[in-house]
Structure 1
Amino acid sequence: MARVVVDVMPKPEILDPQGKAVQGALPRLGFSGVVDVRQGKRFELEVEGEATEEVLAEVHQMAELLLSNPVIEDYAVRVVS
């Protein structure tokens, strides 16, 4: 079995109110030096067999059709051990 991770993040030009809320809360909790926060989603998929090019192409399709909104989000697919 292989584990594939899909990270989904808002596109840079899209406002991220959740990220801004976290950024505003950090100094109130005593953390300093954080100049920006973007909040996204992470999906971990366990797939049968090896993470072949065909399997990764299918994961890309999953990300485009279900896991992300391509109008406002970017995604990245990677294999982890």
Structure 2
Amino acid sequence: MKARVTVTLKAGVLDPQGQAIEGSLRGLGFPGVQSVRQGKVFDLVLDGNDVAAARAQLTAMCDKLLANTVIENYAIEISN
């Protein structure tokens, strides 16, 4: 089973890397970009076919390692 975890900063948390990307895009001739928020994507391959168990395991992974839940949100997508 395949899973994708997307981790992004919570609203209100400063994102200096996103701001740097925004400035660079403008400098490269893309003036229509209003704002950029950067994040992380993790693609995982898991054993088994139990989607509920996989979601529980992925949630634990995010809470313990993949995301800093004080300042980051995460979203989990599972596919077969």
Using structure 2 for the length normalisation, give the TM-score. 0.93
The number of equivalent residue pairs is 80
The structure 1 segments of at least 4 consecutive aligned residues displaced by more than 2 Å after TM superposition are none
Q: 1:62: which partner in 2?
A: 61
> What are structure 2's unaligned runs of at least 5 residues?
none
Q: What is the root-mean-square deviation in Å for CA atoms of aligned residues?
A: 1.1
Change (3 A) 1:59 1:11: same
Q: Deviations over 1:1-27 (max 9, x none)?
A: x11000000101100000000001111
Q: Percent identity?
A: 43
Using structure 1 for the length normalisation, give the TM-score. 0.92
Deviates more, 1:47-56 or 1:27-36: 47-56
> What are structure 1's unaligned runs of at least 5 residues?
none
Q: 2:41: which partner in 1?
A: 42
